[in-house]
Structure 1
Amino acid sequence: MASVIFCGPCLYDETHHNARKWCTSCEEGLCEECEKNHRKTKTTRDHKLISIEDYRKIEDVPISFTCGVHDKKFEWFCKSHDKAVCVVCLPTEHRSCSDVIPIDVAATNARQSTAISDLQEAIELIFRNITHCINNRNTATKDIEKEEKDIRKIIQDTRRKINKHLDALEEKLIHTLVTASETCKSNCNTFTRKFHSQQKTLIRLKDQVLKMKEFASDLQVFLGTRQIDKLVMSETESIKTAAKSMYDYKFNLVLNSGIQKLSNGLVKDFGKIQVAEPTSNLNIKEIKIEQAQIQQKIQPSRNVADVNLKLLTMVKIKREGDIRITGCSILPNGHLLFANYNTTELLEYNEEGNCIGRIQVSANPYDITVLDSDRIAITYGSKRFFEIFNYHNSWVVKMIETGGNCWGLSQSNGKIYVRHNQDIGVFDKMGNKLSTLAASGKLYISSSKINIFCSNNSKNNVCCYDMSGQEVWKFHDDYVQHPLGVANDCSGNVFVVGGMSFNLLIIQHDGKTYKNLLNLNRNSIPRAVYYDKDKNTLLFCDQRGDNCALYKILYS
Structure 2
Amino acid sequence: MFSTCNHHYNKRLSHFCQKHDEVICAKCIPESHEGCQNVQLIEKAADTAKFGYALSSLESRIQNLKLVVTDMLKANADNFSTLNDQKQTIKKKIKQIRNGINAYLEKLENELGNDLMEKYKVCVKEIDKERQHYLQQKETLDDWTREIKAMKNHASSVHLFSMAKLLHPRQKANEDSVQKRLADSKISNIDFEQSRILLDFKRLVMSYGKISIRESPALMSSTHRKAFAIPLLSRNDKPPSPVISKFETSVFGNNVDVIRGCFLPDDRLFIPDNKSKTIYVCKMNGANIKKIKLRHNPKDACVLDRSHALVTCGDSGIMMVDLRTLSPGTMIIPGGHCTAISCTGDKIFVVNDECKVSVVDLKGKVLKRITTRYDPYMITSNKTGVIFWTNYNNNNVNSILPNGTSQNVYSGSDLRESTGIATDNRGNVYVAGCDSSNIIRVSRTDKSSTTMYAKRDGISSPLGIALSTDKSKLMVINNKQIRVYRTHSN
With normalisation by structure 1, the TM-score equals: 0.43
